[in-house]
Chain A
Amino acid sequence: MGKIKNISGCVAVAHGVRLADVDVICSYPIRPYTGIMSELARMVADGELDAEFVHGEGEHAQLSVVYGASAAGARVFTGSSGVGVTYAFEVYSPISGEMLPVQMAIADRTLDPPGDFGSEHTDAECCRDQGWIQGWASTPQEALDNTLIFYRVGEDPRVLLPQYSCMDGYFVSHILGPVDIPEPEQVKEFLPPYKNHHVLDPRKPQIIGPQIEPAMGPPLQYQRYQVLQNVFEVLEEACEDFARIFGRRYDPYMEEYYTHDAEVVIFGQGAHMETAKAVVRRLRNHGEKVGAVRLRTFRPFPTAQVRERLSRFKAVGVLDNSTNFGISGGGGVLLSEVRTALYDLGEKVKTVGFVAGLGGEVVTHDEFFRMFEKLKEIMKTGKVEKTAFWLPFEL
């Protein structure tokens, strides 16, 4: 057990990065993730962390700097929010394509318009198909722990992929909560030093990311697809080791809450699922068989695990805190992926989508209450007359 402190998600992530003993950090400010970088800058200035702290001229530069530094053998860290995440978009695919285990923290922010700093998962979810590992934390403690778990999984020789460690802006990034900060010795045991597999070295010149013939495309892309599948095994080992060393056990894929005899559940990821859990507790006091399932790993999407776990319920409501305009089903990407995962079960499990908390608005207790009411109605009638509801306008 380390020292328990009341800190924000931003500071928690900075401690994770410090404990991971990174070599190169590249920053550029944008709310709400900025607190991570100001904290890391302080740690470097105060001698708590020995790292190169580079201030980029924008997010594209941030990702380019850590791309190069990672290729040179450094353990690297960067981060952003909202339009900063999308401005850097070009560099994401090269980093995963070169199999460089860069870690980027994303504290979610709505994409413009509106010029709003409220949280929405849209920014990070935009990058979901770039070959990076991705998952959401719902508390400052989990944000710190995910930082360490993601480095460990991403740097494993069976994987070698970059990681987006995501948390909801403000809700997780700014609200203080109790965090058990691990001891460096524990982290050393959990996270071995990063060993680069093609270090840039002037004595052994090599070209990283050369122009290729189309014929090289299929094998290259298939290679990236395959290593992403290896994440599951490595992640399971990492969570097991994490529990042994730090005493905190995370399910690699999803946290289940009051699901043992639940008939209907709400499935989602990130901070709002903590509110969902509070609503579940209250409804349980009134004898309602409701539960919550919080996804922890979004990429690679744990299709088989989601199918197996959700097959126990009669109706599943999928919460999307993002705008995926024009998507199949009319909800968000989580709904779309859950429905795909459950397709082979036929009519057994009913699914319905809820889009809520846009622009950084709170998903209220009452909204979750209405979602559960809708799920109970679907369970009773056996009919899904509409695949997704936008709250609060449609429900």
Chain B
Amino acid sequence: MSSHELFVEPNLKQITVWSRGVIMNKDARDVVVALTEAAAIEGKYVQAFENYVDLPDRINVPVRAYARISSDPIESRYVYENESPDIVVVLEETLVKGVPVLKGIKPGATLVVNTRRSIDDILKFLGDTGNLGQIATVDASNMAQAVITLSGSEGATDATGIGAGIAAPIAGAVARVTGIVDVENLAKVVKNQAAMRRGYEEVKCRTLEVKYTAQKSQTSARELLKQMPFAGTVPSPQEENEGMVTGNWRMKRPVLNAEACTQCWTCWIYCPDSCIKKGEDGPLFNLKYCKGCGLCAAVCPTGAISQVPELDFDD
């Protein structure tokens, strides 16, 4: 008997919620907590948790929250991540660009995106959808407001309640397109019930043709041992740090109006990530690392820098 077959959990559903540190971290947690609590009402075995390795105290950093729901006891309780999600939720639309949100999904998986953009727009950024069987969009940010709080982070109790913000319509949308929980049970656990029901009603959904894709295996520990540098010491990055590429933290891109720029270089001084270089016509933005914090635009005395939504750009 192979150990792989031995440990299959056929009735386990994995839900992965992608979000952004601090600004929507709480809502990501709320989605998994709301769905699992509703499932628990239905007698399911559940587990809600957050990715431990993500950096949730960094503003805008991509973060993940996870849910596991099963009719059997969950035997993979202490496996770190949802390695093959059935449902992926993207709480902030820009995450479909530059973040591998579909990594490892099961054949026929569902993707739910919080966006006012069209499904075609989102598909454009996703590229090859592989195992994805269904895509749904819901304009949750228009139905509720994100709750920004650190209450409930690091495993502490959330003193502000579950599902008061955009988690409510998102959870409603997930319930509608996947049937993972009954909407009436969801109504028993979320605070903003009106928004939850709006999400349930207004979600748009499209079925996709599943292109079966094998999952890539991770680098083995033995392989890592071979690669391990002496005493774990690594060279310090002088210009760019390939180990910490932060461009996918960005939701809005700085764009220069060269005519208004006086080349005073205030932006160059203020950029906290040294992402601005002095160019012939004004600042050049290093988009591989720019987190889109908007400080450059805020300090520009002539208003020469504007912030444009990242998804307005194809590149």
| B266 → A minimal CB distance (Å) | 35
Cα–Cα distance between A35 and B153 once the two chains are bound (Å): 8
The stretch of A169-177, A234-242, A248-256, A341-349 in contact with B is A169-177
Instruction: Specify the chain B residue showing the minimal Cβ separation from A270.
Output: B78
Interface residues of A in 265-313 (CB under 8 A from B): 271-272, 274-275, 278-279, 281-283, 286
Q: Do B77 and A38 have beta carbons less than 8 Å apart?
A: no
Q: Do A282 and B157 have beta carbons less than 8 Å apart?
A: no
Q: Do B52 and A176 have beta carbons less than 8 Å apart?
A: no
> For residue A114, which residues in chain B have a CB less than 8 angstroms away from its CB?
232
Interface residues of B in 144-191 (CB under 8 A from A): 151, 153-157, 159
Q: Do B221 and A176 have beta carbons less than 8 Å apart?
A: no
| A282 → B minimal CB distance (Å) | 5
Cα–Cα distance between A9 and B159 once the two chains are bound (Å): 17
The stretch of B2-10, B111-119, B248-256, B293-301 in contact with A is B2-10
Interface residues of B in 277-297 (CB under 8 A from A): none
Cα–Cα distance between A366 and B218 once the two chains are bound (Å): 15
Instruction: Please report whether the interface of chain B is mostly helix, strand, loop or mixed according to DSSP.
Output: mixed
Given contacts A282-B6, A286-B1, A365-B3, contact A32 B40 (CB under 8 A): no
> For residue A278, which residues in chain B have a CB less than 8 angstroms away from its CB?
7, 75-77
Instruction: Specify the chain B residue showing the minimal Cβ separation from A363.
Output: B78
| A103 → B minimal CB distance (Å) | 19
> For residue A283, which residues in chain B have a CB less than 8 angstroms away from its CB?
6
Q: Does A206 contact B (CB under 8 A)?
A: no
Q: Does A221 contact B (CB under 8 A)?
A: no
| B185 → A minimal CB distance (Å) | 14
Instruction: Specify the chain B residue showing the minimal Cβ separation from A169.
Output: B52
Instruction: Specify the chain B residue showing the minimal Cβ separation from A278.
Output: B75
The residue among B154, B159, B222 with the most chain A CB atoms within 10 A of its own CB is B154
Q: Do A11 and B155 have beta carbons less than 8 Å apart?
A: yes
Cα–Cα distance between A9 and B68 once the two chains are bound (Å): 18
> For residue A271, which residues in chain B have a CB less than 8 angstroms away from its CB?
78
Cα–Cα distance between A363 and B76 once the two chains are bound (Å): 11
Q: Do A8 and B155 have beta carbons less than 8 Å apart?
A: yes
Q: Does B125 contact A (CB under 8 A)?
A: no
Q: Does A42 contact B (CB under 8 A)?
A: yes
Given contacts A6-B40, A174-B49, A286-B1, contact A281 B75 (CB under 8 A): yes
Instruction: Specify the chain A residue showing the minimal Cβ separation from B221.
Output: A392
Q: Does B80 contact A (CB under 8 A)?
A: yes
Cα–Cα distance between A46 and B156 once the two chains are bound (Å): 15
Q: Does A117 contact B (CB under 8 A)?
A: yes
Q: Can you list 24 A-B contacts with CB-CB less than 8 angstroms, sorted by A residue number?
A: A6-B40, A10-B156, A11-B155, A11-B156, A42-B156, A42-B157, A113-B231, A170-B52, A174-B154, A175-B77, A176-B33, A176-B36, A176-B47, A177-B77, A178-B40, A274-B77, A278-B7, A286-B6, A363-B78, A365-B3, A365-B76, A366-B4, A370-B3, A392-B222
Identify the A interface with B (CB < 8 A): 6-11, 14, 31-32, 34-35, 38-39, 42, 46, 113-114, 117-118, 170-171, 173-178, 271-272, 274-275, 278-279, 281-283, 286, 360-366, 369-370, 392-393
- Contacts A11-B157, A114-B232, A393-B221 known; list 8 others, CB within 8 Å: A6-B46, A8-B155, A11-B156, A32-B155, A38-B154, A175-B78, A362-B78, A365-B75
